[in-house]
Chains A and B, each alone.
Chain A
Amino acid sequence: MKKIILINIFYFSFYTVAVKSAEKGGMPQLDPEFWVSQIFWLTITFGTLFLVLSKFILPKISKNLEQRRLQILENIETAEKQREQSEKNLKEFDEIILKSKNKAKEVMLAAREKVVSEITKKKIKLEEDLNSEIQNVENEIIELKLSSPKKINSIASNITNEVIKRLIGTNVNESSVSALVEEELKKLNRGTNGI
């Protein structure tokens, strides 16, 4: 506030000075001595300025601005195109990756199938082998089972014969001995079967 009041005081003091000087010879602005000269030179300088600016300089600036605008538009367009292209490329790339993935899967599946089939083949062969082996062994066992009683009989009759010979000292009719042994064995068998 104080400053504003001060300004006013100064301003009034200036005003009185101005009035006084106006009395002496006037405010220089109101002295018409150089008015015509000022108008003349203003016309010349401003006219020249206007002509040169409008004919030479401003069109250039406007052209520059327009060129820049076009250039920027063009750049944006190119950038857009390149973006599209790169998107396309990306898509292609993705496709290739997908394809190769699928292929890899196929290869893996095929390999697994091959391996599995081989394993099953081998398994089957092994099973067959095992089965035939088992069959053979079973056959042998059956054969043995079948043949064992006869052998046992003959062994038993032989042993009995021998025992009798030693005990009595005479040869006994073999057939009768074997018949006896068989009878006894049958009894034994019955006994064991009965258990």
Chain B
Amino acid sequence: MAANPMYQFNVYRIGPEIKIGEIDLSFTNASLFMVISSLAILIIFNLGAQKKNLIPDKIQLLSELSYTFVSKMISDTAGSKAKPYFSFIFSLFMFVLFCNMFGMIPYSFTVTSHIIVTFVLAAFIFIGVTIIGFIKHGFGYLKLFVPSGVPVVLLPLIVVIEIISYLSRPISLSVRLFANMMAGHTMMKVFGGFVVSLGIVGGILPLSFSVALTGLEILVAFLQAYVFAILTCIYLNDALNLHH
């Protein structure tokens, strides 16, 4: 069964079955890696925040650089109004990044390769952004679907397209991350399988490819976390600044 490239995405129970009524809330390997990622983030950033050197050491520099990186990303895409949402976007970015990165360790589990996880995050963002938009602009937020400078004849069509594109945001956001992680890991598994099946002589080609893919996947892991965070910022920008 281990040869199946999809086997790595299996979720299985760790420890006892926890059930509340009919609902299964058991602790699984997915939950384990969520906990590991969160703990890693908390430990690293807590260590970085404890030190107050004028000239930062490595771990302090790491946390401070991440802070300024995310802060700059938010202010660049969503402006100064997005400052109250900094902690959320920072947590989101770090959570996705660490989940992706922990997924790169062989025999580990990639939390973000599950559509349900990414979809819950994306749906939460979507609902949150929509609520923020309506709170800030009232029903004026609906102007988002009516772009200015469009001929009146085209307007009904454009509005429909805008609404569909708005509603598909959580799907595109979640599927992008999930598909990237799943495809990457599956491909690595497939190449790993080829290394074994082609033996010492023939296996060198897929092995070198596998090494290159690992580098690529680490890049993708960072990039997808970044894209996830920056798209959140862009949606937030729509809700806060209403440019249309």
Contacts and interface: CB of A to CB of B under 8 A. Distances in A.
Partners in one complex: yes
Interface of A: 3, 7, 10-11, 13-14, 17-18, 21, 27-31, 33-43, 45-46, 48-50, 52-54, 56-58, 60-62, 64-65, 67-68, 71
Contacts of A50: 87-88, 91
A76 to B, nearest CB: 13
Contacts of A46: 34, 38, 91, 95, 121
A61 B64 contact: yes
Contact of A64 (B6, B10, B64, B88): B64
A57 B178 contact: no
A57 B49 contact: yes
Contacts of A37: 11, 24-28, 30-31
Most chain-B CB neighbours within 10 Å: which of A33, A40, A42, A52?
A42
Q: Is the interface of B mostly helix, strand, loop or mixed?
A: helix
A54 B88 contact: yes
B94 to A, nearest CB: 8
Interface of B: 4-6, 9-11, 23-28, 30-31, 34-35, 37-38, 41-42, 45-46, 48-52, 54, 60, 63-64, 67-68, 86-88, 90-91, 94-95, 111, 113-117, 120-121, 178, 182-183, 186-187, 190-191, 194, 209
Given A11-B187, A49-B41, A34 B64 contact: no
Contacts of A42: 34, 111, 117, 120-121
A57 B45 contact: yes
Top 4 closest pairs, chain A to chain B, by CB: A54-B87, A41-B31, A60-B49, A45-B34
Nearest to A62: B67
Nearest to A75: B54
